[in-house]
Amino acid sequence: MVRNARARPETPRPTRAFASDLLGPEGAALFSWSPTGDLLAAAGFRKKKVVLFDRSGEAVASLTVPDPEFLYDESQETPVLALSWHPWASPLAILPRGQPFAMPAEVQAMAWSPASVQLALGTAKGGGIIWDVASRAATPLQLGRSVKAVCCMAWSAAAAPGGLLALGCKGGQLVLCRAADGCVVKTAF
């Protein structure tokens, strides 16, 4: 006769949790792994710092975010809007809140191009630019008035030269733009 044996509960495996006083008591608001996977950039909720951690969770560097040039609600909003590593090199783009840029609306999305030194920036008001890091030239995205807030961006690696840039916008809109001139190729809802 076989009795119903209750399965023993599985013992949880220990995991390595790490925190840093540099990020503040709330921990990380944003984080991004380097392309090689050896560094994790983390931005805190309230402290104006970006901390780089190695794989073991040890802080290896701390970067101070500049003081804002225009006010924002520090009790509700993080000091850093976005973090993005270059896909095959070491630069880390840090987008601080409260800083003026070439666009009047606040930048809320950014993405590095995979094959060159371009950084695309999208705004809360449906605008954007492609910034060439080497030449410091900015190409405005020709999005039109129907585009709402740009929430996310991704580059196509296969569409050279310059590639295509996909923008995910508020309201479920998807916009494809040519990187070379910023013109819209296709819009889908």
Residue 147 forms part of a structural domain: yes
pLDDT along the chain (189 residues), means of 10: 50 48 66 86 80 86 77 69 74 73 65 78 86 82 85 78 83 88 85
Q: How many CA atoms lie within 13 A of 121 on its CB side?
A: 22
Model-level pTM greater than 0.75?
no
Cα angle, residue 93 at apex, residues 87 and 95 outer, rounded to 5°: 140
- Alpha-carbon span 123 to 56, nearest angstrom: 35
Domain edge (last residue) among 54, 76, 99? 99
Residue 1 forms part of a structural domain: no
SS3 content of the chain, % helix, strand, coil (to 5): 0, 40, 60
CA dihedral 50, 53, 59, 64 (to 10 degrees): -10
How many other CB atoms sit within 10 Å of the CB of residue 144? 10
Residue 140 forms part of a structural domain: yes
Tell whether 121 and 134 lie within a shared domain. yes
CATH number for the domain harbouring residue 107: 2.40.10.480
Tell whether 92 and 110 lie within a shared domain. no
